[in-house]
Amino acid sequence: MPSYKAPVDDMMFLLHEFLEIEKREDLPGFADLTPDMTRAILEGGAKFCEEVLQPLNQIGDEEGCTFENGVVRTPTGFKEAFKQYCEGGWNKLGAPEEVGGADLPSVITFAFSEMGSSSNQAFSMYPGLSSAAYSALWATGEDWMKKHVVSKMVEGEWTGTMCLTEPHCGTDLKLMKTRAVEQEDGTYRLSGTKIFISGGDHDMTDNIIHMVIAKIPGEDGKLADDLSTVNFFMVPKMLIDPETGKITQRNGVSTGSIEKKMGIKGNATCVLNFDEAVAYRLGGRPSTKKTEDGKVVKSKSAGMAGMFGMMNGARMGVGIQGIAVGEVAYQNGVAYANERLAGRSLTGPKNPDGPADPIMVFPDVRRLLLSSRAFVEGARALAFWVSMLFTVARSAKDETERQEAEDISQLMTPIIKAYFTDRGFEAANASMQVFGGHGYIRDHGMEQFVRDARINQVYEGANGIQALDLVGRKMTSKGGRATLTFFGKIDAFIKANENDAEMKPFIEPLRTGYKRMGECAGWLMNNAPKNFDNAGAASYDVMNVFGTVALAFMWAQMAKLSLAKLKEGTGNAEFYNRKLTLARYWMEREIPMTAAWTERAQAGSEGLMELAAANF
C-alpha cells in the first residue's frame, strides 16, 4: 500500500524564507501568518490528509462510485471523511469571513490543496470544485444567494460543480446547445445535457449547486452560432426558497449516468440532464454600449467574468494536482529504491554484506527520481509565487505592483496548468518505472497514480489548448506587456548576480534559457502574423521552454537563498545543500532540453500541415 508524508518543511521554507509572507502585512489575510501560525495550519492539514484521506485513496479506486435507480453513491468512507473534512474547517480556509470562512490567502489554500490531492485526488475534487463554485457565486450572485447558498456551501452542507462541456462541445463553447429561456419572474428555464461533470451527483450532501453556462435564444427562438449570448447560471439540484434558504423541491436536474473511466474513480463524473430546470442568471443584466457611430448595442451576455474567474482558478488548481501526484509518486519511488535489492553498483558494492545493492545506487534510477523531485520543488515554488501574485494583483496599494502581478499571473496560468500536469504525469510514470514489474500491478498503488494523473492533462482545457492560449493570447496581450515584464524580472536577477562566483552554476544556465525564451518570442513575433499555423505549430515547444526556464528562475533564487543560509550557519544545512543539488540538476539536465524545443519551435508549420488529412 502506498504512503504519503506532507512536505510541510518545504512549504514552510517557501512561505517564510523564499516569499517572506510575514512581511506582507499590507495584504489582507497575511497579518496573522506568523511562522508558528502557518506551521500549525499546515501540520493540522497534513495530519488530516495523511490519516483520513490517504487510506481511502485505494479504496476509492477499487470500489469507484455506483449509480443505481437514479442515485449516485460514493465509495466506502468518503461520506464520513467529507463530514470530518467540514467539521475540521478545511473547507473554510479561503472562504469569506462574512459567511464563516477564515479568508486566508490563496498561497495557504493552495498548499493545503496540494496535500489533499497527493493523499486522495478523487476525494479532494469534491470540496475543490465546491470552493471554485461558491467563489464565483460570491463574486457574481445576488444577495440572497450569498446569504443562503454560499453560506451553506462554505459550511459543507451543500457542494458545487462546474458545468461546461457537452457531448458535441468541449473547448469550442460557441457550439453549445444548452439553452436558457427567460421567464416572467426573472428566472430562466434551462435545458440541455452536460457531460464529464466532476462531483455532478453524490450522497455526501443534500443539495448540489451547479454553475452552468448556456445560451439565451433570440426572439426567433434560435441559438446564435457564436459566444454573444452565452451566459452564466446557478442551477441548484434542489430548489431553494430565496427568502428562507430552505430546500423546497427537486429541480429539473437528473443524472443520466456516471462515466466508466481510467482514473479518479472515487469521484463521480456524471452526465447531467437539465430539463426545464429553474436557473438564475449571474452577473446582473447585460450591458448596453454605444458604437462609434452613436448606435446603441445591447449585449445579451452577462456574468462571464465570473465564469472565466472560476475557470482560471480551476486551471491553477489542476496545475497543483500535477505537483501533488508528482510528490506522492516520488515519495513511494524513493522508498522502494532504497529497499529493493538488485545487482551491484557500477563502482563496487555499496551493501557488501547483503546479496545485492539497493537499486538507488544506479544512475538511471537516480535520474528518474531526481527529475521528479527537481520538478516538484521548482513547480511548488512557482505555484506559491504566482498564488501570491493573485493576492497582490487584487489588493496591493501600489498600482504598478498590482499591474505587474496581474500580468505575470495571467502569463503563468496556462504554463502552470499544462507544463505542470505534463511533468506531473511524467513523474508518476517515472516512479512506476522505478518499481519495475511491481509498479504495473495494483498492490503498490503506483499504476493508480499514473491513471489518476492522466486526466490532469485533459480537463480544464487540454494542454495543447493551454499552449495555444500562451502564445496566441497571454504573450501578446497589451502589446506583449506581460511577457516583457516577466523577461524583465529574469534579466534583473541575472544582472544582479552574474558577478557572484558561487552563483555561476545557476546564473549561466538561466541566462542560456532566458536567451532561448527570447528567441522563441522573437520568432513568433516575426512569423505568426504571416501564417497563424506557425503559432499553433510552435506553441507546445514554446510552452515547454517557458515552463523550464520559469522553474530555472525559481531554482536560481532558491539557490541564492540556500547559499546565504549556509553562510549564516542558520537552519538545516542538509536541507539547503539538498536544494543546491536539485538546483544544479535542473540547470545541468533540464535547461539543455530548451535547445531542442527552441529549434523545433522555429521549424514552422509546413511539416505539420502539408500532409493531406486522408493520408494520415
Here the CATH number for the domain that contains residue 207 is: 2.40.110.20
Average pLDDT of span 217-237: 93
281 shares a domain with 170: yes
Give the per-residue pLDDT at 172. 85
485 shares a domain with 576: yes
Q: Phi then psi for 133, rounded to 5 degrees?
A: -65, -50
460 is catalytic: yes
Q: Where is average pLDDT lowest: 161-175, 207-221, 336-350?
A: 161-175
269 falls within a domain: yes
In angstroms, the Cα distances linking 188 to 302, 333, 542 are 14, 52, 44
Give the per-residue pLDDT at 209. 98
Which residue's C-alpha cell is 492560449?
469
How far apart CA 126 and CA 164 sit, in angstroms, is 17
Boundary residue ending a domain (286, 316, 347):
286
Identify the burial level of 347 via C-beta atoms within 10 angstroms of its C-beta, where 0-12 means exposed, 13-18 middle and 19 or more buried.
Answer: exposed
596 falls within a domain: yes
Give the per-residue pLDDT at 283. 87
Give the per-residue pLDDT at 173. 82
If we measure between CA atoms, which residue out of 360, 368, 365 comes closest to residue 340?
360
Identify the burial level of 492 via C-beta atoms within 10 angstroms of its C-beta, where 0-12 means exposed, 13-18 middle and 19 or more buried.
Answer: exposed
DSSP character at residue 532: H
The answer to whether the CB of 549 falls within 8 A of the CB of 593 is: no
How many structural domains comprise the chain?
3
Read off the C-alpha cell for 163: 458545468
Task: Tell how many helices (H) and how many strands (E) occur in the chain.
Answer: 19, 13
- CB atoms inside a 10 Å sphere around CB 259: 19
87 shares a domain with 212: no
510 falls within a domain: yes
How far apart CA 530 and CA 526 sit, in angstroms, is 8
- 499: domain range? 464-611
Q: Is the pLDDT of residue 113 over 70?
A: yes
Q: Is the pLDDT of residue 399 over 70?
A: yes
Give the per-residue pLDDT at 297. 58
92 shares a domain with 222: no
How far apart CA 263 and CA 303 sit, in angstroms, is 33
Is 173 or 606 the better-scoring residue by pLDDT? Answer: 606
Q: Is the pLDDT of residue 270 over 60?
A: yes
589 falls within a domain: yes
How far apart CA 113 and CA 121 sit, in angstroms, is 9
Q: Is the pLDDT of residue 381 over 60?
A: yes
166 shares a domain with 91: no
How far apart CA 410 and CA 428 sit, in angstroms, is 27
Geometric angle at alpha carbon 376, from 121 and 570, rounded to 5°: 125
Boundary residue ending a domain (286, 317, 335):
286
Give the per-residue pLDDT at 570. 85
Question: Which percentage of the chain shows pLDDT scores above 70?
Answer: 96
222 shares a domain with 89: no
Q: What is the pLDDT of residues 425-451, one digit of tens each?
A: 999 999 999 999 999 999 999 999 999
What does the mean pLDDT of the chain come to?
Answer: 95
Give the per-residue pLDDT at 189. 98
The answer to whether the CB of 539 falls within 8 A of the CB of 464 is: yes
91 shares a domain with 175: no
Instruction: List own/partner pairs for 223-226 with CB under 8 A and 24 or more apart.
Output: 223/176, 223/177, 223/179, 225/174, 225/175, 226/174
Q: What is the pLDDT of residues 567-616, one digit of tens each?
A: 999 899 999 999 999 999 999 999 999 999 999 999 999 999 999 999 99
192 shares a domain with 55: no
Q: Where is average pLDDT lowest: 140-144, 177-181, 228-232, 311-315?
A: 311-315
130 shares a domain with 23: yes
Q: Phi then psi for 68, rounded to 5 degrees?
A: -145, 130
What DSSP element (H or E) covers 178? none
119 shares a domain with 69: yes
Give the per-residue pLDDT at 174. 85
322 falls within a domain: no
602 shares a domain with 496: yes
Q: Phi then psi for 175, rounded to 5 degrees?
A: -85, 0
Q: Is the pLDDT of residue 289 over 70?
A: no
Number of alpha carbons in the 13 Å side-chain half-sphere of residue 14: 25
587 falls within a domain: yes
Q: What is the pLDDT of residues 16-52, one digit of tens each?
A: 999 999 999 999 999 899 999 999 999 999 999 999 9
Read off the C-alpha cell for 191: 435545458
How far apart CA 517 and CA 165 sit, in angstroms, is 34
Q: Is the pLDDT of residue 288 over 70?
A: no
Average pLDDT of span 64-82: 97
Give the per-residue pLDDT at 311. 78
607 shares a domain with 477: yes
- From 460, 498, 590, 606, active-site residue: 460
120 falls within a domain: yes
Boundary residue ending a domain (256, 286, 316):
286
CA 404 to chain centre: 21
Question: Which percentage of the chain shows pLDDT scores above 90?
Answer: 91
Give the total residue count for the chain: 616
The answer to whether the CB of 286 falls within 8 A of the CB of 301 is: yes
Average pLDDT of span 342-371: 96
Q: Is the pLDDT of residue 298 over 60?
A: no
Q: Is the pLDDT of residue 385 over 70?
A: yes
297 falls within a domain: no
Average pLDDT of span 556-563: 98
